[in-house]
Structure 1
Amino acid sequence: MKIFIKNMVCIRCQMVVKSELDKLGLQYTDVKIGEANLRGNITAEQTEQLNTALKKSGLQLMDNKKSILVEKIKSAIIELVHYSEEQIKVNLSDYLSEKLNYDYTYLANLFSEVKGVTIEKFYLAHKIEKVKEMIVYDELSLTEISYRMQYSSVAHLSNQFKKITGLTPTHFKMLKNKRFRTLEDV
């Protein structure tokens, strides 16, 4: 039986879900971002206990089909941006349509209706968060970051970064460095 979980965005969330399933004695085959595959069925009482436990960690079971699909869209984007080492070879709309087996127009309209933001804006926000993370780790140049995040150029990355954060990547990096120097001097 497959259950769907709202607000699962990271590997720690998966660990929380596994832990709660273990505590309730519910066997599972796997736990992915946004869902868990259980062996056998789950009773109404177990469902309520699991949902109560998950809510304490900011997670929640879902049963509404539209909400489940929106969470699948979010999970697909989060996995793509934050956890996938490979770059997608097609555009985002084709990727989501293929992964979720729905027409992209339907996915885009549903997502906008439920979340109040477009899929593209959600995707760009996550890309910029990943870029910020890469800048903070200071292991890659902006050229390497722009290539890894599939920007056509450093200028394109810089323009989007500034549009979303209000800062250039270089200024963001300077602020990070200035903040860390100040903390070291304390």
Structure 2
Amino acid sequence: MRDHLKYSIPLVLSLCLSLASAHASIRSEYEVKAAFLYNFTRFITWSNGATASDPLDVCIYGDDPFGNLLDPMQGRKSQGRALQLRYPNVPADIAGCDVLYIGQSQSRNVDELLEMAESHEGILTVSDLPDFIRKGGIVGYVKQGNVIRFEISLKAAMEAGLTINSRLLELAVRVLG
């Protein structure tokens, strides 16, 4: 237990530092969202049987508001797995995604995309679309004044076979059961 605590404290500290940076006014909205996206991969566990040699695919579907902000994630390790950025063009291509960010341009297709993600266990769905977690998404970005936060649907995460670290749950502005 002590070893687990010893290794989780630096992770929590780095997430907290990211959060502190997120509140700085010099950061753009999508710099903050990109930092959160990376940290989500560090505090969520996939139970789909992937090994350390399997990449952790982070997919951006629809418009890409991040520009080159996600580029530093490419090849970086998270939980021993190399992050790989993908930009699928058709819904069928989301099957291999571990993380699926659904862009604003997909507001009309969000229900279909969430159904497809649910049919492939182990996809963490993330978006800044309004009421995203109420529609079945797992992590939704929300703005509180000028601060970017996130909310989590614990039920959707469990149904997807994902385990969310309790420290990440504590940082969420809202957790739906």
TM-score, length-scaled by structure 2: 0.26
Greater gyration radius: 1
More strand, by proportion: 2
More helix, by proportion: 1
Q: Of the two structures, which has the highest relative contact order with CA contacts closer than 8 Å and spacing of 6 or more?
A: 2
